C-alpha cells in the first residue's frame, strides 16, 4: 500500500492532467453535460429541488451531499437574502451553506429591461453635459468666423472658406453643412439657382444682395461686427451651445456694444425689438416668460401701466429693469455703469443656464417616462403621437453626439442590434465611439428584442473585489488610507461600469492594477497580451492558460470578469445560475469527485486534497474549528490531542493561534509543506510507526507562530 504522501503527490504534481483525466471519465462527462445544458432552464427553487440530477450535482459540488434529503433546509438556504445578516443562511455557522446560496440567483429579478439604472444614469448625464463637451469645438468655429468674416469681399471668397461657410449654413438652419458643396452654395447666393428652401432664403438675405440690374447676379453683403455676432448667436442656439461660457461672453459683448457711444439709437423700442437683447434682459431679471416686442416696450417704458393680468412678480422685474436701464420719458436709455449694466450682466451670469437646465430636466423626465414602455428597438425608434417626432430616439442620439437630423435610421437600427463587445460586430467595424456608446447604452439582441445587460464584471464581483482591495491595506486604517481606498474603489467601479469591451479594460492600467492587487496576483507587470490570454481563458478547461499558471490567483482574477474566448462579453443568463457560477460549480464538482475517488483508496489523501482546496480561504482559526475535516487535518499535523475538541471554543482557537498562522496557508509552498506533514503524521497514527519511513522526516515540535516552525 502506497503512503498518503505519495498518493497525494500523484494527484497534485500535475493537477491539470489529473483533472483532465478525471473529467474525461464517461460518468463525469455525462453528469457535467446534463447540468450545463439544463441549469439555465431552471427559474425557481422548487424547480431546482425537483430535478434530482441537477440538485444532487450541485450539492456534491459544494460538499453538501450528506444533506441532499434535507430539502426543507436547503430551500430556506436558497431563498436567503445574503445581504441580510439575519437571514437563514447567514445564521448557519457552516460557510458551505452561504457559498451554496451565493451560487444561485433565484431571488433576483432577472427580467431584461431596455436599460439598467446605471445605463440610464450615464446616458442622462451625457445628455446634460453635451453643451460642455461640444462647447470648445463650437467656440473654435465661431471664433474663427468672428475673426475672419469681416475681411471677406465676395461670394466666391466666402464659399471658398469652409470654416466661414459651415458656420453660416448651420446658423441659417442646415443641419449638415458638409452635405452642401461650395459651388452649389455660390450658385444659390448669386441667384443662378432657384431654391425656395427657407434656410437658403435666410442665407441669401444675410449674405447676398439683389442685383442692381436685370442681367447681373446677386452681390456680396459686407458683414458688420453686429451681423457676425448675430450669426454666431444663432449658430450657438441651433447647435445647443447657447449656455456655453463663450456664448455667455458673446451676449455680454453684444449688450455692451448696444450701449456703446457709437450706437446712437439707445431707445426702448430698439432694445425690445432686438430679440437677443430682450432675452438677455429678461433672463437677467429671472423671468422665463416670452414677451412680444411691443408689449415689452410698453411695460419697460412705464411699469405702472402694466395690466393686472401680469403677475406682481413680473411687474417688479420690469420695474427693476426700467431702473437699471435708466429709461427716460422720451424712450431713451442711459444706464449707469454701477447698478445699471453691471446689474444686468450679474443677473444674466446667475440665470443664463436656468432655462436651459429646465429644458434638459424636462427632456430627461420625458425620456425616463418613455423608457418604461420600450420593449424593442422598434419602440425606441417610434415617432411621438403628439408631434410626430422621434423624441425618445432624438434624446439618445443627442446624448452620444449624433445629429438626429442627419442620422440614418437603417444604420441606427443595425447599431442597436449589434454587440459592441464583439470585435467583429457591425458596430465595432464602424470604428466610431459615438455608435459604440449608442449600442452599449441599450440591451437589445440581434432581433431587436430585450436581453440581459452585458457587463464586463457582475455587480457581485465588483463588491467582492472592493472588499479584497480594502483588505490589502490591513487593519487599523488611518483616515488617509480610508480616503485612498474610497477614491480608488470609486474610480474602479466607474471604470468597470462604463467599460464596453476587453480592449477598454486592457487599456486602463489603473483599473487592471486595482483588480490584480485585490486578488494578490504576484506579477502585476503582466503584458497586454498576457492579460488578454488570461481574461479569455476557458476556466472550465484545466489546461487553459489561466488554469495552468503557477500563481493560482491568476485564475481567480480571470473568473472575476465575463469575457469569452473571442474577447466578447458573455451574455448574462436569466436562469437560476449565471454562467460564471455554473463554471465554478463544475470545477467544484470535479474537485469533489477527485477527493471522493482518492478517498476510495486513502482517506488520508482525501483529507489532504480537501485541506489543499479549502485552507487558502481561511481568515482565522475559527474557520478551522467550524470545519471538522480541516480541524482533523490540523490536529493530526500538529499532534494535538483529540480531547481538545471538548474545550471552550475560544480556548481552542487560542491554542491554534499559538501553533500556526492561518495566513501562511495562502503561500503555496508553506501550504504544501503543511499538507506533507499531515500526510506523514496521518500514516504514523494509522500504521506501525516502525514501518513508516515518513516519521523520520519530522522532529519534535514546540510552540511557534507560523507553519514553518513545524516543518
Q: What is the pLDDT of residues 293-311, one digit of tens each?
A: 999 999 999 999 999 999 9
- Tell me the chain's radius of gyration from C-alpha atoms: 37
Question: Domain check: are 99 and 32 in the same one?
Answer: yes
Residues in the chain: 711
What pLDDT, on the 0 to 100 scale, is given for residue 196?
A: 65
HSE, CB side, 13 Å, CA atoms: give it for residue 279: 16
Q: Which residue, 668, 673, 667, is CA-closest to 698?
A: 673
Instruction: Give the pLDDT of residue 709.
Output: 33
pTM for the complete prediction?
0.59
- pLDDT tens, position by position, 492-502: 999 998 898 89
Q: What is the mean pLDDT of residues 49-78?
A: 93
Q: State the pLDDT at residue 642.
A: 87
Count of beta carbons in the 10 Å neighbourhood of residue 593:
20
Q: What angle do CA 233, 235, 241 make, to 5 degrees?
A: 85
Q: Is 155 left (phi over 0), alpha (psi -120 to 50) or beta?
A: alpha
The conformational region for residue 500 under phi > 0 = left, psi -120 to 50 = alpha, else beta, is alpha
Three-state secondary structure of 593-638: HHHHHHHHHCHHHHHHHHHHHHHHHCCCHHHHHCCHHHHHHHHHHH
- On whether both 93 and 8 belong to a single domain, the answer is yes
Q: Above 70 in pLDDT, residue 370?
A: yes
* Residue 228: inside a domain: no
Same domain? For 609 and 691 the reply is yes
Is 279 in the same domain as 343? yes
Residue 23 is part of a domain; what is its CATH number? Answer: 1.10.3700.10
- Check residue 689 and give its pLDDT: 42
If one counts the domains in the chain, the total is: 5
| pLDDT at site 687 | 67
Residues 551 and 626 in one domain: no
Instruction: Taking residues 508-512, report their average pLDDT.
Output: 95
Tell whether 552 and 648 lie within a shared domain: no
Distances (CA, A) of 294 to 269, 310, 548, 599, 619: 8, 15, 82, 98, 80
Give the residue among 541, 602, 542 at the shortest CA–CA distance from 9.
602
Is 618 among the domain residues?
yes
pLDDT at 527: 94
Per-residue pLDDT tens for 386-402?
Answer: 778 898 999 999 888 88
Per-residue confidence (pLDDT) for residue 708, from 0 to 100: 33
Q: Would residue 444 count as lying in a domain?
A: no
**Does residue 276 lie in a domain region?**
yes
User: What share of the chain has pLDDT > 70, as a percent?
Assistant: 93
Give the separation between CA 333 and CA 344, rounded to whole angstroms.
14
- Same structural domain, 316 and 266: yes
Q: Which of 319, 352, 385 is the last residue of a domain?
A: 352
Give the chain's mean pLDDT.
87
Residues 549 and 630 in one domain: no
Binned at pLDDT 50, 70 and 90, residue 703 comes out as very low
Same domain membership, residue 278 and residue 186: no
Cell 451651445 sits on residue: 241
Confidence of residue 425 (pLDDT cuts 50, 70, 90): very high
pLDDT band at 355 (very low <50, low <70, confident <90, very high): low
Q: Which of 559, 583, 613 is the last residue of a domain?
A: 559
Say if 141 falls within a structural domain. no
The answer to whether residue 543 is domain-embedded is yes
**E strand or H helix at 219, and its extent?**
strand 219-220
Cβ atoms 63, 96 nearer than 8 A = yes
Whether 28 and 97 share a structural domain: yes
Domain range enclosing 632: 602-711
Model pLDDT, residue 387: 76
Angstrom distance (rounded) from CA 381 to CA 383: 7
What distance in Å separates the CA atoms of residue 664 and residue 673, rounded to the nearest whole number? Answer: 11
Final residue of a domain: which of 321, 352, 383? 352
Pair (289, 215) in one structural domain: no
Residue 667, sorted as left (phi over 0), alpha (psi -120 to 50) or beta, turns out to be beta
Measured CA to CA, the distance from residue 273 to residue 427 in angstroms comes to 49
Q: Is residue 398 part of a domain?
A: no
Residue 694 above 60 pLDDT? no
Domain co-membership, 102 together with 1: yes
**Segment 489-514 mean pLDDT:** 93
Q: What is the mean pLDDT of residues 581-606?
A: 90
Euclidean distance between CA atoms 124 and 108, whole angstroms:
26
- The separation between the first and the last C-alpha atoms of the chain, rounded to the nearest angstrom, is 25
pLDDT classification of 151: cutoffs 50, 70, 90: very high
Pick from 188-197, 241-250, 360-369: least confident? 188-197
Distance between CA atoms of 253 and 236, rounded to whole angstroms? 15
Kindly state whether residue 62 falls inside one of the protein's structural domains: yes
3-state secondary structure at position 333: strand
Residues 6+ apart with CB under 8 A from 702: 709
**Strand pairing partners for 327?**
333
Residue 209: beta bridge partners?
219
Helix pair 628-638, 603-614: axis angle to 10 deg:
110
Is residue 242 a contact partner of residue 355, using CB atoms and an 8 Å limit?
no
**β-strands 219-220, 208-209 pairing:** antiparallel
Q: Rounded to 5, what percent of the chain is helix, strand, coil? A: 65, 0, 35
Cell of 581: 457560477
Residue pair 35/53 in contact (Cβ under 8 Å)? The answer is yes
Amino acid at each position: 500500500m502506497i503512503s498518503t504522501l505519495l498518493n497525494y503527490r500523484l494527484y497534485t504534481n500535475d493537477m491539470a492532467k489529473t483533472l483532465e483525466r478525471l473529467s474525461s471519465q464517461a460518468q463525469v462527462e455525462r453528469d457535467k453535460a446534463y447540468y450545463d445544458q439544463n441549469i439555465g432552464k431552471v427559474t425557481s427553487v422548487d424547480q431546482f429541488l425537483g430535478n434530482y440530477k441537477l440538485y444532487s450535482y450541485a450539492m456534491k459540488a459544494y460538499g453538501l451531499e450528506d444533506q441532499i434529503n434535507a430539502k426543507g433546509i436547503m430551500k430556506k438556504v436558497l431563498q436567503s437574502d445574503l445581504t441580510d445578516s439575519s437571514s437563514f443562511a447567514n445564521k448557519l455557522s457552516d460557510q458551505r451553506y452561504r457559498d451554496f446560496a451565493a451560487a444561485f440567483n433565484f431571488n433576483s429579478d432577472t427580467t431584461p429591461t431596455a436599460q439598467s439604472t446605471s445605463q440610464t444614469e450615464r446616458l442622462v448625464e451625457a445628455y446634460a453635459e453635451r453643451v460642455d463637451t461640444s462647447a470648445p469645438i463650437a467656440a473654435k468655429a465661431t471664433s474663427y468666423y468672428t475673426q475672419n468674416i469681416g475681411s471677406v469681399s465676395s461670394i466666391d471668397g466666402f464659399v471658398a472658406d469652409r470654416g466661414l461657410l459651415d458656420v453660416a449654413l448651420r446658423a441659417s438652419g442646415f443641419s449638415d453643412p458638409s452635405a452642401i458643396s461650395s459651388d452649389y452654395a455660390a450658385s444659390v447666393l448669386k441667384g443662378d439657382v432657384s431654391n425656395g428652401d427657407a434656410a437658403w432664403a435666410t442665407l441669401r438675405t444675410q449674405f447676398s444682395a439683389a442685383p442692381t440690374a436685370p442681367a447681373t447676379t446677386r452681390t456680396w453683403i459686407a458683414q458688420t461686427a453686429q451681423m457676425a455676432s448675430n450669426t454666431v448667436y444663432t449658430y450657438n442656439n441651433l447647435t445647443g451651445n447657447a449656455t456655453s461660457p463663450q456664448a455667455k461672453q458673446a451676449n455680454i459683448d453684444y449688450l455692451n456694444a448696444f450701449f456703446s457711444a457709437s450706437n446712437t439709437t439707445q431707445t426702448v423700442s430698439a432694445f425690445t425689438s432686438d430679440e437677443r437683447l430682450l432675452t438677455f434682459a429678461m433672463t437677467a431679471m429671472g423671468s422665463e416668460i416670452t414677451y412680444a416686442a411691443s408689449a415689452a416696450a410698453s411695460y419697460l417704458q412705464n411699469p405702472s401701466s402694466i395690466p393686472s393680468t401680469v403677475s406682481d412678480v413680473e411687474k417688479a422685474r420690469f420695474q427693476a429693469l426700467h431702473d437699471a436701464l435708466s429709461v427716460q420719458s422720451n424712450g431713451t436709455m442711459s444706464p449707469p455703469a454701477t447698478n445699471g449694466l453691471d446689474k444686468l450682466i450679474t443677473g444674466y451670469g446667475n440665470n443664463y443656464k436656468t432655462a436651459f437646465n429646465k429644458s434638459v430636466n424636462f427632456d430627461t423626465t420625458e425620456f425616463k417616462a418613455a423608457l418604461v414602455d420600450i420593449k424593442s428597438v422598434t419602440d425606441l425608434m417610434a415617432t411621438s403621437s403628439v408631434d410626430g417626432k422621434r423624441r425618445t430616439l432624438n434624446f439618445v442620439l443627442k446624448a452620444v453626439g449624433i445629429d438626429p437630423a442627419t442620422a440614418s435610421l437603417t444604420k441606427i437600427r443595425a447599431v442597436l442590434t449589434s454587440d459592441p463587445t464583439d470585435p467583429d460586430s457591425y458596430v465595432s467595424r464602424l470604428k466610431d465611439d459615438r455608435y459604440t456608446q449608442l449600442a452599449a447604452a441599450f440591451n437589445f439582441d440581434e432581433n431587436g428584442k430585450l436581453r440581459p445587460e452585458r457587463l464586463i464584471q457582475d455587480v457581485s464581483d465588483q463588491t467582492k473585489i472592493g472588499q479584497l482591495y480594502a483588505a490589502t491595506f490591513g487593519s487599523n486604517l488611518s483616515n488617509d488610507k480610508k480616503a485612498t481606498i474610497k477614491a480608488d474603489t470609486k474610480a474602479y467601479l466607474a471604470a468597470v461600469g462604463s467599460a464596453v469591451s476587453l480592449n477598454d479594460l486592457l487599456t486602463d492600467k489603473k483599473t487592471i492594477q486595482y483588480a490584480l492587487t485585490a486578488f494578490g496576483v504576484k506579477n502585476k507587470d503582466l503584458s497586454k497580451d498576457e492579460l488578454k490570454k488570461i481574461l479569455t481563458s476557458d476556466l472550465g478547461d484545466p489546461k487553459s492558460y489561466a488554469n495552468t499558471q503557477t500563481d493560482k490567483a491568476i485564475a481567480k482574477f480571470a473568473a472575476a470578469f465575463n469575457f469569452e474566448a473571442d474577447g466578447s462579453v458573455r451574455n448574462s443568463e436569466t436562469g437560476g445560475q449565471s454562467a460564471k457560477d455554473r463554471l465554478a460549480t463544475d470545477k467544484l464538482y470535479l474537485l469533489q469527485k477527485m477527493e471522493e475517488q482518492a478517498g476510495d483508496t486513502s482517506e488520508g489523501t482525501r483529507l489532504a486534497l480537501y485541506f489543499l482546496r479549502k485552507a487558502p480561504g481561511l481568515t482565522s482559526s475559527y474557520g478551522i474549528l467550524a470545519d471538522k475535516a480541516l480541524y482533523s487535518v490540523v490536529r493530526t499535523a500538529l499532534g494535538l490531542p483529540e480531547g481538545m475538541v471538548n474545550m471552550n471554543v475560544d480556548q481552542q482557537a487560542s491554542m491554534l493561534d499559538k501553533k500556526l498562522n492561518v495566513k501562511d496557508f495562502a503561500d503555496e509552498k508553506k501550504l504544501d509543506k503543511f499538507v506533507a506533514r499531515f500526510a506523514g503524521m496521518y500514516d504514523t497514527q494509522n500504521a506501525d510507526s516502525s514501518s513508516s519511513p515518513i516519521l523520520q522526516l519530522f522532529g519534535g515540535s514546540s510552540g511557534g507562530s507560523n507553519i514553518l516552525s513545524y516543518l
